[in-house]
Amino acid sequence: MRRMPDAITRMVSATRRHYDAHHFIEGGSPRIKWWRQFLTDFLPDEVIHDALIVDVGSSVGEISRGLIDRGGRLVCLDVSLQSLRRCRVNNPEAVVVHGDALALPFADQSFDHAISIGVLHHTPDCRLGFSEVARVTAPGGNIVVFLYNKWNWYNLVYNGFAPVRKHVPLDRVPNWMVALMQPLVKWHLGQKLNAVELRNLVGDALWTPRATFHSLREIRSWGTEEGLTYLGYRRFFLGYANVVHFRKPGGRVKGVRREPRFKCLACTSHEMVVGPEAVECSECGHAYAIEEGIVRVIE
Ligand SMILES: C[S@@+](CC[C@H](N)C(=O)[O-])C[C@H]1O[C@@H](n2cnc3c(N)ncnc32)[C@H](O)[C@@H]1O
């Protein structure tokens, strides 16, 4: 098994613990509808119809839901098992995978398209995550990533908040204080959240263990380094993030209906057989158990 440096493993574990305790918001149908519409500009219906799409960092799967409803076939991956349990309920049609964005357990070029919305900047190595997303996308495929904007007030707020984050656990913040965020949230999302979801959102914004901020120029240069074609971007609410669209050069092979292809993280072979109880490597025998309908790549 390829070993990540300890500091990276510790940071991924801290992030996992955070989102297991406070999964990202579940806004229900208004949020699903909003994202469904927003992504249509990048991934129109004819492009995603019957396509195999990976949602890296799917959380509870609301963005995936919108793509499934428009005809996509989704593979949802997240580091938070608790979030994925909700994802299974929201998206029974999807293949749900408990794994790490920094070591995607998928074969090279195995997806028609890839999205990663608000995820890679929470990993200890955003650049590596970007490269993983590019690796698993097939020629002709679209890649849509949402990353925090370096040149924005939120960069200052998140980093300035570090002492509070360090000394005051999110669970200790009284409800009335969390509720102060409701007007901003309503403005941003166009919907009010209940107390639990509001706390989850505030947790994501201020208590998440890691967030990095990236300029559009930097992200575009990553695309160039990965051999991707830059297609454009949209600024997100008050400019706190950029949603950037790339395409992997090359033609899509017509008439090919892709199925999820796993990669063995123990021996790097792409020959893995998907069975009812496990995904098993034909080369070295390493297996990812399937429990509660979730492919368990990480323990
Ligand atoms: C802000 S949420 C975004 C969720 C979803 N994409 C959405 O917009 O609704 C960030 C998600 O990234 C996941 N995440 C963070 N680090 C990750 C990693 N290394 N691998 C996989 N998922 C990760 C978290 O568990 C969390 O569910």
Question: How close is the Cα of 204 to the center of ligand 1, in Å?
Answer: 10
Whether the CB of 106 sits within 6 Å of ligand 1: no
Closest ligand 1 atom to 63 CA: 9
Mutate which of 58, 78, 133 for ligand 1? The one with the most ligand atoms within 8 Å of its CB, which is 78
d(CA 128, CA 63): 23
- Domain 6-261 falls in which CATH fold? Rossmann fold (3.40.50)
pLDDT of residue 1: 59
Q: Is the CB of 205 under 6 A from ligand 1?
A: no
Calculate the alpha carbon distances from 33 to 59, 72, 109 in Å.
17, 15, 29
Distance, CA 83 to ligand 1 centroid (Å)? 9
Pocket flag, ligand 1, residue 116 (CB < 6 Å): no
User: Is the C-beta atom of 200 inside 6 A of ligand 1?
Assistant: no
The dihedral of CA 72, 40, 65, 59: what is its sign?
positive
Q: Which of 24, 31, 188 to mutate to test the pocket of ligand 1 (most atoms within 8 A of CB)?
A: 24
Nearby residues of 22 by Cβ (< 8 Å), 6 or more positions away: 170, 199, 200, 203, 204, 207
- List per-residue pLDDT tens for the chain, 299 residues long: 567 889 999 999 999 999 999 999 999 999 999 999 999 999 999 999 999 999 999 999 999 999 999 999 999 999 999 999 999 999 999 999 999 999 999 999 999 999 999 999 999 999 999 999 999 999 999 999 999 999 999 999 999 999 999 999 999 999 999 999 999 999 999 999 999 999 999 999 999 999 999 999 999 999 999 999 999 999 999 999 999 999 999 988 888 899 999 999 999 999 999 999 999 999 999 999 999 999 999 98
CA distance 265 to 250: 27
241 touches 234 (CB < 8 A):
no
Q: Ligand 1 test: best mutation among 8, 9, 13, 19, most atoms within 8 Å of CB?
A: 19
- The pLDDT value recorded for residue 259 is 96
Comparing C-alpha atoms, which of 272, 8, 260 is closest to residue 124? 8
- Distance, CA of 245 to CA of 223 (rounded, Å): 10
Look up residue 138 and give its amino acid: A
Domain layout of the chain by residue ranges: 6-261, 262-299
Among 236, 221, 242, 243, which Cα is nearest to 150's? 242
Sign of CA dihedral 65, 275, 268, 255: negative
Distance 254 CA to ligand 1 centre (A): 32
**C-alpha span between 49 and 44 (Å, rounded):** 9
Q: Collapsing DSSP states into helix, strand and coil, what is residue 271?
A: coil
Q: Residue 238 has what DSSP assignment?
A: G
Q: How many helices and strands in the chain, by DSSP H and E?
A: 12, 11
pLDDT at 2: 62
d(CA 175, CA 9): 32
102 close to 123: Cβ distance less than 8 angstroms: yes
106, β-bridge pairs: 262
pLDDT of residue 232: 98
**Can you tell me which atom of ligand 1 is nearest the CA of 119?**
12
